[in-house]
Structure 1
Amino acid sequence: MNSGQAVQHACDSVDIVKELKALMINHALPLWWREGWDASRGGFVERLDHQGNADYVAPRRIRVQARQIYSYAKAAQLGWYPEGRKIAMEGLEYLLAKAKGPDGQPGFVHLIDRNGSTINPLRDSYDHAFILLALATVYQLTGDASVQEEIRLLWEFLDSHLRSPHGGFIEGIPPALPRRQNPQMHLLEAMIATFDATGDAVFKSCASDLFRIFVAKLYDRQRQILGEYFEEDWLKIEPSVVEPGHQAEWVWLLKGFERITGCPTGEHRSQLLASALRYRDETGCLLDEGDAEGKVRKFTRRLWPQTEIAKAWIAQAEAGEQGAADQAIVALARLDKHYLQHSVRGGWYDQFDCDNQLLVESIPASSFYHVICAIAEANRVLS
């Protein structure tokens, strides 16, 4: 890269990151508080319609409540949205009141209605990963002792009720098959965040356990793919399904794991990223699903894999990989062009088919976590 190209790269980086940060501050964060919070009964809604109006009727997944708490706590932590502290605390109060053990059993239920009544009492490991992530982010923001206590109690539940004798964590209570890599991935994310927030070595130790599961069971080194579905003892279910978005997500998470432990992850990151990039369409966006041989199985493309490929390139840029920052900028621009230029500013398009036709009319709240995390990482590393 010559000096002129370097200057242009720096300008492009600042411009796209600045633009996306402004989108969060000026539009997304106000929108999802104004329309995405149920002011009369509490709690975050699952989605907005294509005009930006709240859907109050849709059942509420606990993972979405946790993701929105994370998003507002993160925004407050970054100084992007000072009101985020109050919003995150209100969201956490609602989550604890409505979803934590309403049936007298430990853990959080899976699904509630608008009134806060339980629809599904499943204790889902994926949900609990996001609850821990939310608690860690709020605690890092506030230092609130009661939040620290909730972290302790949640860890006790995870450790005593959801551990698997075969390593990692079971799918939930009641247990279910197939086992999936996805809950393990997000539990790793939560452990890294909770270690950052508390400094408690137990969370770094758990992150190390999950990394060992990744190396020994989840990652197929020979084919350089991440498996999605497994038998109870982590035996892979063939034919292997590949979700390129998850491969990209692990690139970013492995960089975080390396940061807190010093364990080298560069080889795994490079392999996962190269493998994920096989599954793209003419727009350059990641597609939703492929097979172990690099062939596409689903030609649809959702929003969230695009945030994860941007984060993967950002992680590689932070590690000093040549050209990674340029690729991150391209990925962020692609995310903006195809998904974030919604008629409702602060909203997003969720999924397109192979003909670039929109498949989901509504604006799902669950995507906010992906979007704000990608932009926060871009702001931290590329600006």
Structure 2
Amino acid sequence: MGTETARLLEFAEGSWHPLGGFARQDDRGVRMLDAPVELWLTGRMTHVYALGALLGYPGSVALAEHGLTALSGLLRDTAHGGWYPRVGWDGPITTDKECYQHAFVVLAAASASIAGLPGGRELLDDALELFENRFWSDPDGMLRETWDEEFQTEEAYRGVNANMHGVEAFLAAFDATGDARWADHARRITDRVVREFTAPNGWRIPEHFDPAWHALPEYNADKPDDPFRPYGSTIGHGLEWARLCLQLRVALGADTDTSWLVDGARELCGRAVADGWAVDGAPGFVYTVDWHGTPVVHLRMHWVLAEAVGTAAALHAVTGDDAYLDRYRQWWEYAEEYLLDRDLGSWHHELDRNNRPSAVVWPGKVDAYHAVQATLLPRLPLRPSIAGALRDTDIELPGAD
């Protein structure tokens, strides 16, 4: 598996953008330089190469620093605060301040800080201050969604996807700083999502809400395959939340009652597998289902399988249940057969319902974030963040120093 980590890092080396940050790559790894530099993508890839730096993979430090430079300059709004979502050769293309995208600034900065990269801690402190002042809603125990450029007007929408990546970011920030406030923010978000929203809904996660946190079950019914806000229950998010529950359990420590997190992780994973795995006559996870569990979008996204692998490994580590080990092996076999592209590199990002390469939602091979993490989580002890686990663990990686 270490070889697969190195193979993914090698392919993604070509994603650096000459303007700053990182670019999407096509199926052959060619950079899409006509597209703008995107905040979420640059945050993710900076995080990935911070992990590479912790692994000792050659060239990772320079690539992570390239990302940090863009997050500290090109993508930053020095006039109003925060970061721009998309910046082109002539300047910002979109100016709204999106929580989802900002979460990856925190994640990148936290991982860079843990890796000891210059400027990582300063960027992390700035990003966390912005989150606390602009996105965190203490009365709700949740994160706001999107502001306009000047942080004056909010979007009349709240989303669980942004909060999920907020939990991931806060756990990484806790690992980087030791400040229990960030673990507590992650706990409050997870408590609402898992116990208040999801458990009463048959363990299918309601994704979309109004500003008062009333569910909008028909949101985007006319656009069911949206890459960030799809209609219905998103199978991969059930798996991702399950893993985050177990990482949060570590952050909260042995003196806290965290049995609900293990129970929730089991239920979330169980529902995702029952609804999503091989339910339409072929192996693979469907993208989304409706509120009765009927598949809506049959496309297979690589990130869903990647999250399944990490979650199965985490659940096996926590529970000792060999059924999760069996699933882990089954899903890696699927990845080997259908997703790993041995000819052109990296993983196919999207397959159709017959497991043939597709490009409806995610053309090309956009980033290495999910796949790299899938190769690392099974080899590491469970920690609040992957960077924290790498800091505390020696693992071998072919091609590393």
Q: TM-score range by the shorter chain?
A: 0.7 to 0.9
Note the alpha carbon deviations across 1:195-246, whole angstroms, 9 max, x for none.
1111112211211221232235432335122111112111112358111100
Distance 1:167-1:205 versus aligned 2 partners, 3 A rule: closer
Given that 1:37 and 1:45 are in contact with CA atoms closer than 8 Å, whether structure 2 keeps it comes out as yes
Encode CA deviations 1:274-298: one digit per residue, 9 max, x unaligned: 1001212344311100022221111
- Find the counterpart in structure 2 of residue 166 from structure 1: 140
Contact 1:181-1:228 at 8 Å conserved across structures:
yes
The answer on 1:133 being equivalent to 2:112 is no
Query: What is the root-mean-square deviation of aligned Cα atoms in Å?
Result: 2.1
**Residue aligned with 1:127, SS:** helix
Determine the C-alpha separation between the residues in 2 that align with 1:149 and 1:381: 28
Q: Is contact 2:284-2:355 (8 Å) kept?
A: no
For 1:123 and 1:183, how far apart are their aligned partners in 2?
12
Residue 189 of structure 1 aligns with which residue?
168
Instruction: Map 1:300-311 to 2 at 5 A.
Output: 300-311=299-310
Describe how 1:190-205 pairs up with structure 2 within 5 A: 190-205=169-184
Query: Is the 1:348–1:363 contact (alpha carbons within 8 Å) kept by the matching residues of 2?
Result: no
Are the equivalent residues in 1 in contact too, given 2:61–2:117 (CA < 8 A)?
no
What displacement does 1:100 show?
Answer: 1.1
TM-score calculated relative to the size of structure 2: 0.83
Which ranges in structure 2 are unaligned for 5 or more consecutive residues?
149-153, 219-230, 383-394, 396-401
Find the aligned partners of 2:340 and 2:216 in 1 and give their Cα distance: 36
Residue aligned with 1:237, SS: coil
**1:16-71 per-position Cα deviation (integer Å, ceiling 9, x unaligned):** x3xxx21331x3222222x2113x433311222x3332211112210000111011
| 1:66 equivalent in structure 2 | 43
1:266 aligns with 2:267: no
Q: Could you say which residue in structure 2 is the equivalent of 1:6?
A: none
Q: Which runs of 5+ in 1 are unaligned?
A: 1-16
Distance apart, 1:266 and its partner CA = 1.3
Distance 1:213 1:74 in 2: 30
Q: Distance in 2 between matches of 1:78 and 1:330?
A: 27
State whether residues 217 and 234 of structure 1, in contact with CA within 8 Å, keep that contact through their aligned partners in structure 2.
Answer: no
Which of 258, 276, 281 is residue 279 of structure 1 equivalent to?
276
- The corresponding residue for 1:206 is 185
Residue of structure 2 equivalent to 1:23: 4
Task: Flag the 1:327–1:236 CA change in 2: closer, same or farther, 3 A.
Answer: same
Q: 1:216 to 1:379 in 2, by over 3 A?
A: closer
Identity over aligned residues, as a percent?
A: 22
Mapped contact 2:20–2:37 kept (Cα < 8 A): no
Amino acid at match of 1:359: S
Once residues 166 and 123 of structure 2 are traced to their aligned partners in structure 1, the CA distance between those partners, rounded to angstroms, is: 16
Matched, 1:156 2:129: yes
1: distance between equivalents of 2:106 and 2:381?
Answer: 25
**8 Å contact 1:37–1:44 — kept in the other structure?**
yes
Q: TM-score, normalised by structure 1?
A: 0.87
One-letter identity of the residue aligned with 2:315: Q
Q: Deviations over 1:267-318 (max 9, x none)?
A: 1111111100121234431110002222111111111100011111011111
304 and 177 in structure 1: CA distance in 2 versus 1, 3 angstrom threshold: farther
Instruction: State the SS of the aligned residue for 2:380.
Output: helix
User: Aligned AA for 2:62?
Assistant: K
Aligned residues: 354
CA contact (8 A) 2:20 2:74 kept: no
Kept after mapping to 1: 8 A contact 2:16/2:63: no
